[in-house]
Structure 1
Amino acid sequence: MTAENIIWKDRFADRARRMNASEIRELLKLLDQPDIISFAGGIPDPALFPAVAIGEAYRSILSDPVRAAQALQYSVSEGYLPLRRWIAGHMAERGVPCDERNIMITAGSQQGLDFIGKLFLSRGDTALVTAPTYLGALQAFNPYEPHYDTLMPEGGNRTPESYRDQAAARGGRVGLAYLVADFANPSGETVSLVAREGLLDLADALGTVVVEDAAYSALRYDGVEVPALLALDVARSGGIERTRTLYCGTFSKTLAPALRVGWVCGASAVIAKLVLAKQAADLHCATINQMVMHQVAEGGFAAQVARNRDAYRERRDAMLAALARHMPEGVSWTRPEGGMFVWVTLPEAVDGAALLARSIEECRVAFVPGGAFYGEGRQDNKLRLSYSLSSPEQIEAGIGRLASLVARMVAGN
């Protein structure tokens, strides 16, 4: 058989069946169309990037022969030591005393999710995820062929035994519990302190791992900060080496996403195993990017975060006001205290995917239909709106157009 006659889909491993395109990544292509108002991609505003500081960091590193040689050379898989030590200090400020042995640098927190799935999910195991949950987490876990069960931090009455029995009936164990605890993607909701403690109780009873995706935790605009799950775990267990929580952090939403610098923080025994996954995947993250990120973070992380908060708070407020002003009766939405997203529930008769098709054609407004964010039990009358990339004027115009279309569809037009 010649290469041109190969039917490639028949040659892929079984796990490839669960590797599907991200609806969000496809929708990002619409950003190239200038007449589209996009509430689709939950991406930071490039106008807020510390481009000057990043440029200065590259120049200072590359103009020094010793640092340039280090920056352009192979490096250790754990990550650039000064950056890991800075992150350890940052985690200590969040209530997680640790050192560099508890930190591994990843290519964004997304790579951390991939490695954690590889380490803790065997085929047929169950991953507990919220409904809805972050689409990228499902994409990271899917190739390891898990089942999914619904994690209900707030108000759920599932017992540990029910989770354990369901996982066993499917031929595996509960491999991990995953959630975005602060300003979740896609819902914008934050898990309460009581619910976080309950989740740790559940994980203890199941003997499983908690994966805390903290991508948006720095972007709080109002309300009272809730301790990180890992901080609560440290407090109740007596130290990070006794915890079962893995914290996935990133600089993508605060400094710049393209440098692809994130981290995993957890017990050193787990970090050591994740380092082996990193070695097999890509050896290490780009050393120069890690050095630049360290210099920029050390020089102005807090100021940059404050700048981001001010900008996104104004846009969050604009979107909530526009939704209240324009959406017809029967539509509801979350009211996030931070992050980048509002989660909208439509009347059951309105399908989010059908609404998107008409919205792009008739209104030139994009968003993400909610069905993509479910491991199981898909709900199609939901949609995710992001306010991070639009001005208050664009938000007012876009929500007005979208609300008018929703009203027409509810009326059967």
Structure 2
Amino acid sequence: MELYSAIDWSHAFAPRMERMRASEIRELLKLLARPEIISFAGGIPDPALFPIDAVRRAYDLVLADRELGPASLQYSISEGYEPLRLWISQYMARRGVTCGTENIIITAGSQQGLDLLGKLFLAAGDIALVSAPTYLGALQAFGAYEPRYLILTPESSQARTICQETAGGRVALAYVVPDFANPTGETMGEAARRGLLGITAEAGVPLIEDAAYEALRFEGVPQRSCLALDVERCGHIDRSHVLYCGTFSKTISPGLRVGWICAARNLIHKLVLAKQAADLHSATLNQMVLHRLATSIYDDQVAKIVKVYGARRDVMFDALVRQMPDGVSWTEPMGGMFIWVTLPVHLDGAELLTASIREEGVAFVPGRAFFADGNGCNTLRLNYSLQSEAGIEEGIGRLGRLITRKLTGAMWRPRGHSRLG
């Protein structure tokens, strides 16, 4: 039998493949299959909260309908299922954005939305303005189009200069997660949002607003979206330079893979062309099912998960206060799924993860992956949406013991102070 040597494909790949890396988070998700690991790694909804019975009924009703059933399994328009787009336009109106179905395109989750926007705006060598840290999935989506990254802090006096930079390349887009950001859990105030809107509008730079976690507010007053503020500023959504990326993944189900972009009609038209080239359209059956779920259970479903996740956040706060040694700090988000931890500068998050899995059976995401400039070695992201309250308490206790050993080598001593107590 003749043996063949493996083909060397490296010469065939486009240069952009050098910029594409496996997601550290997706790799860490493999640890979820190991029952001994307490994982704070993935930004994953709790599957115990999925509305499985409602989803089953919705599929049955769609497929049993004499008109919808066959249509649900057929090719469809790239813009998306119109009744779902109508519901989304009404949802956006409740949040201060008057728009029509022609301002909405359905995407395969907001992640595809980011990829389509990268394709729409970025050419090799262009500048993408991002925060530090920022969502790793955005860096991956944009990275395929070979941009350079500059760090934009809306409050900075240099923001206008950075946004208008031309000598180092065209500033092609700005990207923010203004509500309960992944990874920090922090929220931009209205003044920062207005400042960023003014700067990007003046420079003619598209502003991508990733609103994946906006609905998951536990406390405090809801902030107006960047798109709502910009529509107020310019008078009409078709004059806005903001592109709002929404999703049902964090509220109803990530497995249905349904998200949307809301923006000016001329931008939606270009996105439709990009969507056609990518996958023709999102699965029609899933869109029809999502429409039934949105019209029947959306508000109740959001209220249910907000109550559960809010309680888990409180448990994690309390455990961090009691279990972490001096020199460790963290954010205190009012919603979302994440707490961002900053370690003393000489501790490395990636090295700590290796020790944490080996010695304590606890997983998290090292923070460096969220920095376009390679900083953040002494940071890490903790997720509280998936673990039970008991698992959070146990996991933070283990992690606190490990960090204390790394810092002092001494016997662990709790702080003895409780945020909730």
TM-score normalised per structure 2: 0.95
Question: Aligned-pair distance for 1:23?
Answer: 0.1
What corresponds to 1:187 in structure 2?
184
Post-superposition CA distance 1:305-350 (Å, at most 9, x none):
0001000000000000100011000000000000000000000111
Which amino acid in structure 2 is aligned with residue 280 of structure 1? A
Aligned to 2:352, the other structure's residue is in SS state: helix
Question: Aligned-pair distance for 1:65?
Answer: 2.5
What corresponds to 1:112 in structure 2?
113
| Separation (CA, whole Å) in 2 of partners of 1:311 and 1:7 | 50
What corresponds to 2:415 in structure 1?
none
Which amino acid in structure 1 is aligned with residue 381 of structure 2? R
What corresponds to 1:196 in structure 2?
193
- The percentage of counterpart residues that share the same residue type is 59
What corresponds to 1:161 in structure 2?
161
- The answer to whether structure 1 residue 235 and structure 2 residue 232 are counterparts is yes
Runs of 4+ in 1 over 2 A off after TM superposition: 2-6, 161-165
Q: How does 1:10-409 map to 2 (within 5 A)?
A: 10-153=11-154, 155-165=155-165, 168-170=166-168, 172-409=169-406
Question: Aligned-pair distance for 1:3?
Answer: 8.7
8 Å CA contact 2:160–2:199 kept in 1: the answer is yes
Question: Aligned-pair distance for 1:412?
Answer: 5.3
| Separation (CA, whole Å) in 2 of partners of 1:159 and 1:254 | 34
Post-superposition CA distance 1:61-85 (Å, at most 9, x none):
1112321111000000000000000
Which amino acid in structure 1 is aligned with residue 375 of structure 2? R
Question: Aligned-pair distance for 1:411?
Answer: 1.8
Question: Aligned-pair distance for 1:250?
Answer: 0.2
Question: Aligned-pair distance for 1:377?
Answer: 4.3
| Separation (CA, whole Å) in 2 of partners of 1:209 and 1:4 | 49
Post-superposition CA distance 1:169-191 (Å, at most 9, x none):
33x21110001000000000000
Aligned to 1:44, the other structure's residue is in SS state: coil
TM-score normalised per structure 1: 0.97
Question: Aligned-pair distance for 1:162?
Answer: 3.6
Q: Structure 1, unaligned stretches of length 5 or more?
A: none
| Separation (CA, whole Å) in 1 of partners of 2:392 and 2:90 | 38
Question: Aligned-pair distance for 1:4?
Answer: 4.8
| Separation (CA, whole Å) in 1 of partners of 2:106 and 2:234 | 25
Which amino acid in structure 2 is aligned with residue 108 of structure 1? G
8 Å CA contact 2:179–2:214 kept in 1: the answer is yes
| Separation (CA, whole Å) in 1 of partners of 2:156 and 2:369 | 22
| Separation (CA, whole Å) in 2 of partners of 1:159 and 1:304 | 39
| Separation (CA, whole Å) in 1 of partners of 2:143 and 2:180 | 24
Question: Aligned-pair distance for 1:160?
Answer: 1.8
| Separation (CA, whole Å) in 1 of partners of 2:274 and 2:387 | 38
Which amino acid in structure 2 is aligned with residue 339 of structure 1? G
| Separation (CA, whole Å) in 2 of partners of 1:247 and 1:162 | 22
| Separation (CA, whole Å) in 2 of partners of 1:50 and 1:162 | 45
| Separation (CA, whole Å) in 2 of partners of 1:117 and 1:70 | 31
Post-superposition CA distance 1:244-270 (Å, at most 9, x none):
000000000000000000000000000
Number of residue pairs the alignment of both structures matches = 408
Post-superposition CA distance 1:233-286 (Å, at most 9, x none):
000000100000000000000000000000000000000000000000000000
Question: Aligned-pair distance for 1:158?
Answer: 1.2
